[in-house]
Amino acid sequence: MTRTNLIKTADDNYEAVCFYYNVYKEKVAFYTSNRLGYSEFNNAFEGILNKVLESEKVIFNIDLLKNSLNLDDIKKELKKIGVIKELKIEIKAPNPDSDLLDRIKENKGEYIADIKNAKVTKTSTVFTSNAPSGLNLDSKIIDEQLDRVDNIHYDLDSRTAVSKGYVDIYATGNKVKYSTKDNGPIKSLIEESQKSLSGFVEVMRGMIGSIF
């Protein structure tokens, strides 16, 4: 019998993806991989930005841009759930350097201006019900809160607010969960001839420019 010496060696185990960051539009486009999906990339990029800007004492929030839903679409989706036990509406203030923030400063009476002035990063309104029939979405108190999504800023409708991550709505029913975050992300198909780094940048620059 012979003895074999086992040697432990470290094996690099990392995943990398290409991304394109448009500084002027404050938008980033990226590939996804098996271990680096939407949430993982956004969390990592948010951490990088906030680390770099730590001395500036500003905080950035990164959200996934989604195909847009307007308030009527959301209400229809909520009605499909039937019995809703919990409804949560979250409204976030925009990032420090966004164009929207400049316009907000000119409209002090708007709701999103008020939460920004209060130095609030995010507000949450939660409705819960133990009734067998669940929440009544047609009630005044709930309907007014949902309608606020369409009126957080004079030039920011619900479709834009949801798409840009300023508003998130969650609902929980009987074995059913709904979230506007689950709405599909904005994607662009990369042709085989465009899969080089320069091709990727060209496609992403064009996509961001055309949408925003």
CB-based contact 38:64 (threshold 8 Å): yes
Could you tell me what percent of the chain has a pLDDT over 90? Answer: 13
Q: What is the pLDDT of residues 166-180, one digit of tens each?
A: 888 999 987 778 888
Q: Cβ contacts of residue 152 below 8 Å, gap of 6+?
A: 91, 110, 111, 112, 161, 166, 167
CA–CA distance, 31 with 47 (Å, rounded to integer): 18
CA–CA distance, 12 with 19 (Å, rounded to integer): 22
Record the pTM. 0.57
Q: What is the pLDDT of residues 95-153, one digit of tens each?
A: 655 666 666 656 554 666 677 677 777 889 999 999 999 999 999 999 988 888 877 76
When pLDDT is averaged across residues 41-48 and rounded to a whole number, the result is 88
CB-based contact 172:86 (threshold 8 Å): yes
When pLDDT is averaged across residues 27-35 and rounded to a whole number, the result is 82
When pLDDT is averaged across residues 68-77 and rounded to a whole number, the result is 84
CA–CA distance, 45 with 28 (Å, rounded to integer): 9
When pLDDT is averaged across residues 65-70 and rounded to a whole number, the result is 74
**pLDDT at 11 exceeding the cut of 60:** no
